[in-house]
Structure 1
Amino acid sequence: MLYLVHQFLGETASRMPDRTALIAGEARRSFAGLDRESDAVACALQQAGVRRGDRVAVMLENSIEYVASLFAVLKAGGVFVPVNPSTKADKLAWLLSDSGATLLVAPTALARQVLPALEETSATPLWVGAPLPEGAAGPATDGLFYADLLAAPHRAPADPGLIDQDLAAIMYTSGTTGRPKGVMLTHASYVATTRSIAGYLGNRPDDVVMCLLPLTFGYGLSQVLTGALVGFTVVLERSFAFPKETLARMVKHRITGLPGVPTVFSTLLGLEALKTADLSSLRYLTNAAAPLPIAHIDRLRALFPDAAFHSMYGMTECCTRIATLDPARLGEKTGSVGRAIPNCAAYVAGEDGSPLPPGTVGELVVRGANVMRGYWNRPEETAKRLRRGPQGETLLFTGDLFTMDADGDLHFVSRKDDVFKCRGEKVSPKEIETVLYELDAVAEACVVGVPDPADGLAVKAFIVARDDRALSETMVRQHCRGRLESHLVPKFIEFCDALPKTDSGKIRRAALAEPV
């Protein structure tokens, strides 16, 4: 039977129309209301020319409009392309051009950074929010307006003729070259992975899951998809900038599920208010994106003895999920991410791709319904990651180093390349270094990830300044904030007289990353 991602919402809306699907601040949507809203947007997208396989970019903060737009793109037959709202104009123009997006859903509040990008592409805007700022001009200002679409009489969008092998999303993720790579994920991949996640978490219709994670991030997006599949309520937070207020909303909404990353859990554990907060409704916590320190896991288990803790591992190239540890085995396997999720297999391999014996460090290789189709417009990069297995199956070489113990449980060792994760998002050092070199006062620069209790791995920049130029941490950070997303701005900056180099003159990045 054909099954597509947006059918999660349609079937749940038919089964339990009045159940609350989303809470965002004071706003709420039932499943039926969300289904109707996404129908209206889907019809408008089709009327604007969106057809099967067309890419539609969505550049919104966590909101009801974001979720409705996601399902609308899929209903219209399009391919969903999430874009971080903090993306600057030049990078946005590149993303729209690389993906070939025909339409961009964006907030009017970001018009100043969106309009310059639209001028360089052929994408049509669908504006969300208040009227455009006074003085905004140009062809892009004549695009669609979200509020106007909802006033039209309800009708279902036309059948775009999708099958489950069609692309559902292109998720851009940073790579070793510094340029983002578009991960191609099909409807079949999302359906299989979402069902697996909901199954091992034991999700129920009466769950209330707090989503602090950005929906532009696959881990955050999976909360919305599992909610639509199972029929539970997702509480959307725009950010975790005010943890005390967020904690109060956790208590208010009687949350049962809390997905997080090390930064979130580290911040929560530092809140005095957490000790007295009534979170007795909490059934489970999940951690992914980066390993959580064992000490933090132990503290969370002590604070929430009745809640199951799921240590998980995944990557965008596998619909965000590869392995999970059974909470019942957490005490004996605290440092492990467990075993492959249902309908997925993973093993540790040598350079030739053959399985290695237990305890040996090697690259993690994955096969399963969750594996990506490849990188958008990057056949060479795809060939490096995807290879044919002995039975003709597709194998994903993750680029991450693991060991597997005698029980078959996976243990993360390190990244195979220089890319690391900060606050749950991948960081490409080259992207940051390119921005640092825009400062005339910078002679040399090298960026590495250093252990940090809050960020997991924090961004540290080593800089050699030109002798005749003044340079300060304040100047560097101010420059980076204007050119980079917040998680890419260096948390630590160290000025050096020189950087360690190889005989051939290359900077020895590994030497800088070693702890003193």
Structure 2
Amino acid sequence: MRVEAFLRQGALSAPDKIAVTAGDTRLSYAELDAQSDRLAAALAKEGVRQGDRIAVLMENVAEATIAIFAALKAGAVFCPINPQLKTGGAAHIFQDARPAAILTQAKFIGLCSEASAGLAAKPFIVSTHAPAALPEGALSFGELVENGDGAPPETGDDSELAMIIYTSGSTGRPKGVMMSHSAMDAASRSIALYLDHRASDVVLCPLPLAFTYGLYQLLVCVRTGAHLVLERNFAFPHTVLEKARAEDVTGMPLVPTIAAMLLAMKELEPGALPALRYLTNAAAPLPPAHVEGLRKLFPGVLLYCMYGLTECARAAYLEPDQLDRRNGSVGTAIPGTEIAVVDEQDRPVAPETVGELVVRGPHLMLGYWENPEATQRALRPDPATGRLQLHTGDLFRTDAEGFLYFVGRKDDMLKVRGEKVAPREVEAALCAIPGVVEAVVFGRPDPVQGTILHAAVVASGSSLTERDLLRHCARSLPDFMVPKAIEFHSELPKTASGKIARRLLVESGD
């Protein structure tokens, strides 16, 4: 199924039901379908052709959802772009994707104009400016939506490219991940199945639509006829939770940063979100202590610990009823897919042996946009069956029953005093200390030992000292895993997707 068909079905079955709420804007399924139809027809009139790329550089606003479905209905490929990027980051993506059009908000039009200035074929820019205030050459988003007429152009089948979404660049230059309609259909179908997603669900999303985890909140909601409530971020948690209560939110995605903020809210009482049915976590693993804290804060709410990556959206999930037995696990393969932990020769390893996770299934990317070398490194045939599998670059182990436990990224592994150290294991020990909200562990060069461990933590409302933390680590970890020094920070640097930016701490020397 093509992705825009999710919306068409929702508009047919429940036209008056609210599909998206963003700020003061509420769009029914019929309105979202009709407005994206008109915008698609207008884009085609402006010269967008099948296969053209359309960049969508917007915050979590209603116009972003219209833009995404309009691009698909025009037969184009949408490229969601993080609005937190600076001019250089946006310019790199524009130069790589070469969009025919850029759909953006008024506040970002200067950035888009500057970042696209060097392109050989200059894209036209569509902005949410009031028509009278539009810069020269820019088109009005509102006018195109209002005045677009005629049917959207004919589109192809679900094997076509639907989206190019760029990696965060945490391990190098951002790469454009190519996802077909069929892969996005398979991923969203699987997620909806294991979450038991329902038309009655109301999902609050404070995660950027420009990233996979946030985007799939939209796709899963629309395919199941649910209601998506968009928040621009989680910077003001009290305001976001008030909105969640007002909208009777039943589902909410978390990243570790948001979980830490919730757990640090001393005034937040259990049962504060009475309609809440489930919570999910992906993007980065939750420390076991945070899992326990969330379960106490939201009793009776299903907590799904998941693992995913841009190249396949989601790969594994843990059933909530397994949390007591397997705290720290991200479960098994999502429905309709397969996973394995393999050695350097791509052979499956025994339980409790660390290896790289590989993923197989209909939800895999087509490859990296115009980057065949990186594609060949990531997508390689299984030696036993010849089936294409995605090499994630992440290290895992399984227990005797095949449940996955994240160890760390290959790139993050450290060698300390001749021993391999996964920073996440030390971070989990630090986060188990009452008062520690977040922790990150990294290596620093040392002229004698080669590499020594450093840690940075955020502590909330406690009198913890470095000595307290080092004593705890010495009691719970082998000597070679105890940090040499621990620094306290008011906050840790984050990527736009909410992950702690370990690399920035290493480079800064803090």
State whether TM-score is above 0.5: yes
Change in CA separation of 1:41 and 1:396 when aligned onto 2, cut-off 3 Å:
same
Is 1:378–2:378 an aligned residue pair? no
Task: Quote how far apart the aligned CAs of 1:357 are.
Answer: 1.0
Q: Unpaired segments of 5 or more residues in structure 1?
A: 421-447, 464-480, 497-511
Task: Quote how far apart the aligned CAs of 1:92 are.
Answer: 1.4
Give the aligned partner of residue 336 of structure 2. 343
Give the aligned partner of residue 333 of structure 1. 326
Give the aligned partner of residue 95 of structure 1. 93
Is 1:290–2:259 an aligned residue pair? no
Is 1:123–2:117 an aligned residue pair? no
| d(CA) in 1 for partners of 2:167, 2:128 | 25
Give the aligned partner of residue 152 of structure 1. 147
Task: Quote how far apart the aligned CAs of 1:90 are.
Answer: 2.1
Q: Unpaired segments of 5 or more residues in structure 2?
A: 415-422, 446-492
SS in 2 for 1:68: helix
State which drifts further: 451-460 or 146-155. 451-460
Is 1:78–2:72 an aligned residue pair? no
| d(CA) in 1 for partners of 2:367, 2:283 | 20
Give the aligned partner of residue 48 of structure 1. 46
Query: Which AA in structure 2 matches 1:148?
Result: E
| d(CA) in 1 for partners of 2:442, 2:40 | 43
| d(CA) in 2 for partners of 1:373, 1:153 | 32
| d(CA) in 1 for partners of 2:508, 2:77 | 44
- Whether contact under 8 Å (2:271, 2:299) holds in the other structure is no
SS in 2 for 1:417: helix
Runs of 4+ in structure 1 displaced over 4 angstroms? 131-134, 448-463, 483-496
- Whether contact under 8 Å (1:40, 1:154) holds in the other structure is yes
Give the aligned partner of residue 114 of structure 1. 112
Query: Which AA in structure 2 matches 1:187?
Result: H
Query: Which AA in structure 1 matches 2:10?
Result: T
SS in 2 for 1:35: helix
Task: Quote how far apart the aligned CAs of 1:458 are.
Answer: 5.3
Query: Which AA in structure 1 matches 2:331?
Result: G
SS in 2 for 1:73: helix
SS in 1 for 2:400: coil
- Whether contact under 8 Å (2:311, 2:365) holds in the other structure is yes
Task: Quote how far apart the aligned CAs of 1:166 are.
Answer: 0.8
Aligned residues: 445
Query: Which AA in structure 1 matches 2:11?
Result: A
Task: Quote how far apart the aligned CAs of 1:155 are.
Answer: 3.7
Task: Quote how far apart the aligned CAs of 1:419 are.
Answer: 10
Give the aligned partner of residue 240 of structure 2. 246
Change in CA separation of 1:147 and 1:419 when aligned onto 2, cut-off 3 Å:
farther
- Whether contact under 8 Å (1:88, 1:484) holds in the other structure is no
| d(CA) in 2 for partners of 1:186, 1:25 | 31
Q: Deviations over 1:304-330 (max 9, x none)?
A: 221111000010011x20000011111
- Whether contact under 8 Å (2:39, 2:148) holds in the other structure is no
Task: Quote how far apart the aligned CAs of 1:165 are.
Answer: 1.2
Query: Which AA in structure 2 matches 1:222?
Result: Y
Q: Deviations over 1:358-397 (max 9, x none)?
A: 1110000111011111111111111111111233311111
Instruction: Provide the aligned C-alpha RMSD in A.
Output: 2.9
- Whether contact under 8 Å (2:102, 2:112) holds in the other structure is no
Is 1:307–2:295 an aligned residue pair? no
- Whether contact under 8 Å (1:247, 1:274) holds in the other structure is no
Is 1:230–2:224 an aligned residue pair? yes
- Whether contact under 8 Å (2:178, 2:365) holds in the other structure is yes
TM norm structure 1:
0.80
State which drifts further: 84-93 or 253-262. 84-93
Change in CA separation of 1:461 and 1:62 when aligned onto 2, cut-off 3 Å:
farther
- Whether contact under 8 Å (1:459, 1:488) holds in the other structure is no
Is 1:142–2:137 an aligned residue pair? yes
- Whether contact under 8 Å (2:283, 2:497) holds in the other structure is no
Q: Deviations over 1:198-247 (max 9, x none)?
A: 01001111111010111001000001001110001011001111111111
Query: Which AA in structure 1 matches 2:223?
Result: L
Change in CA separation of 1:335 and 1:219 when aligned onto 2, cut-off 3 Å:
same
TM norm structure 2:
0.81
From 411, 418, 422, the counterpart of 1:417: 411
Give the aligned partner of residue 501 of structure 1. none
Give the aligned partner of residue 437 of structure 1. none
- Whether contact under 8 Å (2:264, 2:437) holds in the other structure is no
Query: Which AA in structure 1 matches 2:332?
Result: R
| d(CA) in 1 for partners of 2:437, 2:111 | 27
Query: Which AA in structure 2 matches 1:39?
Result: D
Task: Quote how far apart the aligned CAs of 1:418 are.
Answer: 4.2
| d(CA) in 1 for partners of 2:319, 2:188 | 17
Give the aligned partner of residue 8 of structure 2. 10
State which drifts further: 389-398 or 171-180. 171-180
Is 1:368–2:361 an aligned residue pair? yes
From 43, 60, 63, the counterpart of 1:62: 60
From 205, 216, 234, the counterpart of 2:199: 205
| d(CA) in 2 for partners of 1:455, 1:378 | 39
Give the aligned partner of residue 425 of structure 1. none
SS in 2 for 1:198: helix
